[in-house]
Structure 1
Amino acid sequence: MKTNLATYIDKEGNNMLHLAAELPSPNRLNIVSGAALQMQREMLWFQEIKKIMPNSYVIETNKKGQTPKEIFMKSHEDLQKKGEKWMKGTANYCMLVAALIATVVFPAAFTVPGGNNQDTGIPIFLETNWFRIFFISDAVAMLFSSSSVLVFLSVLTSRYTEKDFIKTLPQRLALGLGTLLISIVAMLLAFTAASFLVFQCKTPSVPIGIIVAAPVIPISLFVMLHYALWFDIFRSAFISNLLFRSQHKLFEARKEWQSPVCMQLRFGTKFKQMIRPSV
C-alpha cells in the first residue's frame, strides 16, 4: 500500500514529495515556536516523505519543470531567512547575559567575603563549609558562563545552511541555554553562600528566609517564563528523529498480506483502483 500511494501524481504532475515540499499553513507552522525550529520541522518532514518515495520520483519534475527539492527551496526561502534572524537574535541576547555573569563572578573569586588575613593573605573563612560552597559555585558559574559565550558565538558564526537547521543549530542552542541556566544557578548559590558567611554571626538581624528566597525566586521565574521555548528547543535538538515516527505502525503489515492476491481479497475492487498507473 505504501509503495502504491507513493507513486500517485495529481493533475499538475506533482507527486507526494512535491506536495510535502510546499509551505504549510501558519497554524501548522506555529506548532513549535521560533522560525528556526519551524524550518527544522519542515526539513524533517520533507526527509521522512523522501524515505518512502522511489528514487526516480525524488528527482521527477512536474508539469512546470520543478523537482521537489527546487519547490522546497523556493517555498521555504523566506522561512529560512526568518530562522537565521531568530537564531542569531536569541543567541545574541543569551550571550550578553552569559558575558554579564562571567564579568560578575570573575572578580568575586578574588574579593572573597570576609576578606583576607593581613599577615598571611589567606581568606578568613577558608575553613568554613559555606566558603567552600561559595568558591565552588563561583568557579562553576565562571566555567559554564564562559562555555555558554563560546557556544552562542558558534551559533552566530554558523553557515546557516539547510542541513544546519536539522541538528547542528538546535543542539548548539540547547547546549548554550543549558550552560547558561547552570551558570545562573551557580551564581545565585554563590550569593547565598556569601550572604551566610557575612551574616553568620548576625542571623537574627537578617532573616534567613530572605537569603534562601533570593536565588529561588529568579530561578523559578526564569524556568516558568521560558518553559515552552526550552521544551521546543530540547525536543527539537535531541528527539527530533522521533517526531514523525508513527505509533500505530500503519504500514508495517505482515509479509504474506502484501501479496496481490491477499490485498485483492481484503480490499476487493478497491485494490484494483489503487494499483492503477501513475501516468
Structure 2
Amino acid sequence: MRNQNVLLELTELLVLKDYSWAKIAPTEVVNSFSLVSKPNIPHKKEDAETKSTYEYIPLFIATRTGISQIVEKILELHPQAAEAHDIKHGQNILHMAIKYRRLAIFNIVKKSKFITSRLADVIDNDGNTILHHAADMSYYADMSYYSVDAEGTYLPAFQLQEELRWTARVQKIIPLNYAMHRNKKGVTANELFTRQHAKLLESAKVWMKETAQSGSIVAVLVATVAYAAAYTVPGGTNQNGFPNLRHSPFFKAFTISNTVSLIFSLTSLGTFLNVMRSPFSYKNFHHSLPFKLTLGFLLLFCSLLVSMLTFAATIVLLIHHQKIWSISLIYVVVAILPFSMFGLKHNRFYDVFFKGLKYIKKKLRCCKRRYVRIRMQR
C-alpha cells in the first residue's frame, strides 16, 4: 500500500512538470498559459509531422496503452491537454481511445460535455470521424478480450455484440450529420463497419446456430427424463393408481422439482428454437440473440439443477424411513455438487445474463415512462 501511494505521488509530480503535449496543442491553447518546460518534444514542426507523436507524448502513450490513471491525472492538472492532437494523423485522445477500445479513457473524456463536443467534431487527416475509428478493427490488438471465456472458448457472438455496443456508444456523442460522412477513401462509417466485421458476423452465425442446436438437444433429453419420471413415481402405485408414498413430504418435493425441471427444460428448448429461427443480422446481435442464447442456457442449467434435486428427493424418499440421514445427505451433496461447480466456473455466463436483465429493466422503465406520458397527455 505504501509503495502504491509513493507511485501515485511520483506520477502526479511527473505529470505536473510534463508539458510535452503543448507542442501539438492549438496555438490559442498554448498561449493561454506559460510553459515551464518542454521535455522530449521535437523542436521543429516538420519533425512532428514526419514522426507520429504516439511515440513520445506521455498523454498519447497512456491513451494508446490504456493507462487511464495517467490520462485522468494529466487532464485534471492540465485541462488544456485535451486539445492536443497528433500532427501526422490529426487525431486527438478521443480518436485514440475509440480506436484502441479504451472504455475507461473514453468515459474520462466524456465527463466533460464541452471537451467531448469539441473533440468529437474533429475529422483526422484521412477524413475519418470518431465513428470511423469505432467501426475499424485494425488497431484493436486485444481481440481476445471479448471473444473468449474463462476457459478459452471462442465466443464470436459476444465479441460482435461488444463491437456493436461500442459503435452505439460512440454514435451518441457524434453530430448526427457525421453518420453519412465519407472519408478520403469514399467510405462511410457504416460501410466500414460492415466490411471490417463481415468475417466476424459469419463466425457469429455459425457459432450461434451450433451452440443453440447443442443446447436444444440437451434440453430435449432433460425434458424426456422429467416427463418419464412423472409416470414412474418412486415407491410405485397401489391398486387404485395412487402413489404409495404420496403422503410423504419428500414426495411433494419430488413432484414439485420434477414439474419445475420439465417447465424449465421445455422453455429453454423453445428459446433455443427461437434463436435458430431468428434472422442473423447486425441489429439482432446487438441485444436480442446473445440475450436469448444466455437465457436459454440459464433455463437449461436451472432445469438440470432441479432435476438433480428431483433425484435427491427420490433417494431420500426411498430410504428416509431407515433413518440413515448421513447417507441421504451424501446423496444430496453428490447430486448437487457437479452443477454447483459448473455454475461457479462460468462467471462470464452470469455476467452476460445479468447484463441482459439490466437491459430488460431499462426497457421496462422506458415503456412505463412512455405510458405515463401518454396518460398525462390524455
1:84 alignment partner, one of 182, 185, 205? 205
Match of 1:60 in 2: 181
| Distance apart, 1:204 and its partner CA | 3.9
- The whole-number CA distance in structure 1 between the counterparts of 2:212 and 2:358 is 21
Matching of residue 44 in structure 1 with residue 44 in structure 2:
no
- The whole-number CA distance in structure 2 between the counterparts of 1:155 and 1:108 is 29
Match of 1:35 in 2: 156
Deviations 1:189-212 (A, max 9, x none): 111111112122334498223212
TM-score, normalised on structure 1?
Answer: 0.80
Equivalent residues of 1:170, 1:236 under 8 A apart: no
Match of 1:254 in 2: none
Aligned-partner residue type, residue 231 of structure 1: Y
Aligned-partner residue type, residue 55 of structure 1: L
2:132 alignment partner, one of 10, 18, 38? 18
For structure 2, the 5+ residue unaligned runs are 1-114, 149-154, 361-378
Report 1 or 2 for greater relative contact order, CA contacts < 8 Å, sequence distance ≥ 6.
Answer: 1
Aligned-partner residue type, residue 51 of structure 1: K
Equivalent residues of 1:101, 1:184 under 8 A apart: yes
For structure 1, the 5+ residue unaligned runs are 242-279
- The whole-number CA distance in structure 2 between the counterparts of 1:97 and 1:175 is 15
- The whole-number CA distance in structure 2 between the counterparts of 1:128 and 1:170 is 43
Alignment of structure 1 residues 205-220 onto 2, 5 Å: 207-220=327-340
Compare the two structures and name the one with the higher helix fraction: 2
2:353 alignment partner, one of 223, 234, 238? 234
Equivalent residues of 1:37, 1:236 under 8 A apart: no
| Distance apart, 1:6 and its partner CA | 1.4
Equivalent residues of 2:132, 2:189 under 8 A apart: yes
TM-score, normalised on structure 2?
Answer: 0.60
Match of 1:277 in 2: none
Equivalent residues of 1:199, 1:206 under 8 A apart: no
Task: Work out the number of aligned pairs and report it.
Answer: 239
Equivalent residues of 1:189, 1:215 under 8 A apart: yes
Equivalent residues of 1:39, 1:80 under 8 A apart: yes
Q: Bigger shift: 54-63 or 87-96?
A: 87-96
- The whole-number CA distance in structure 2 between the counterparts of 1:139 and 1:83 is 34
Match of 1:200 in 2: 320
Identity of paired residues, percent? 35
Q: Bigger shift: 105-114 or 191-200?
A: 191-200
- The whole-number CA distance in structure 1 between the counterparts of 2:257 and 2:354 is 29
- The whole-number CA distance in structure 1 between the counterparts of 2:325 and 2:145 is 52
Q: Bigger shift: 216-225 or 176-185?
A: 216-225
Matching of residue 2 in structure 1 with residue 121 in structure 2:
no
